[in-house]
Chain A
């Protein structure tokens, strides 16, 4: 079976990944690599559109687990990267062909300053 961690994720994170600091649960503050996944975000009410951003970041689950960050620690963790600090308000798992536990997690973020 193909090792997607070595063949796919390693080169992608080596190229696109940025240094980040995650503060979560019992693990405390750990250094990880994330891919900035901030996207344009439009909310529509009636016919009026408001343009903003939906901040997000993708991390590798094996790296998180290896540094003591369990899935139960994701919510409300603080994630700092690319000069900004965010709070994890939700997340979604992205399974790998080799299984969920060696895939990625996409953190959905909000400004840390607003609680």
Chain B
């Protein structure tokens, strides 16, 4: 049994947990307390396949091209004056680690010469606010393109 989607998400959590100065890493936990900050949360997100546009007569369990878009949120509570540069530093580490992780690229998604998968950074959004100090969140999106093989489930 192999479920690439689950493998990607599980590895993503491992990767983001290694970002320096992160206090807690979560998957689909949508209720964080300030004692857990800085926190990083992996949200499973959506995926689409090429099934809808496929007009061939191939059997339904033949491979599909799938594009999944998990979200990753980094939340920080810090001195308001320094929040911007703190979030920027987390963004750098996040993007670098996801796009260059060997296991994600070569063993799971199989990018480049390892297969026809792909990992792309799509962009990010930020939110800022106040608590007992400054608060900021960065939400980053990545696209993972992989070959989905129903017969391996």
Contact = CB atoms under 8 A, between A and B. Distances in A.
Contact of A115 (B37, B81, B135): B81
Nearest to A48: B30
A45 interface: yes
A111 to B, nearest CB: 5
B41 A52 contact: no
A81 B134 CA distance: 21
Contacts of B29: 48
A51 B34 contact: yes
Contacts of A89: 80, 130
Given A53-B132, A55-B132, A111-B132, A46 B33 contact: no
Q: Report the interface size class on chain A.
A: 20 to 34
A108 interface: yes
A49 B34 CA distance: 10
B77 A52 contact: yes
Nearest to A52: B131
Contact of B43 (A47, A52, A115): A47
B73 A48 contact: yes
B59 interface: no
A87 B131 CA distance: 13
B79 A41 contact: no
B69 interface: no
A114 B77 CA distance: 11
A52 B137 CA distance: 14
A46 B78 contact: no
Contact of B31 (A46, A49, A52, A109): A49
A50 interface: yes
B67 interface: no
A55 B77 CA distance: 14
A110 B132 CA distance: 5
A48 B30 CA distance: 4
Given A50-B34, A52-B34, A52-B77, A45 B127 contact: yes
Contact of A51 (B32, B41, B81, B127): B32
A49 B43 contact: no
Interface in A28-61: 41, 43-55
24 contacts: A43-B131, A43-B137, A45-B73, A45-B127, A45-B139, A46-B43, A46-B73, A48-B29, A48-B32, A48-B75, A49-B31, A49-B32, A50-B39, A50-B75, A50-B135, A51-B32, A51-B33, A52-B34, A53-B34, A55-B132, A110-B80, A111-B133, A114-B78, A114-B79
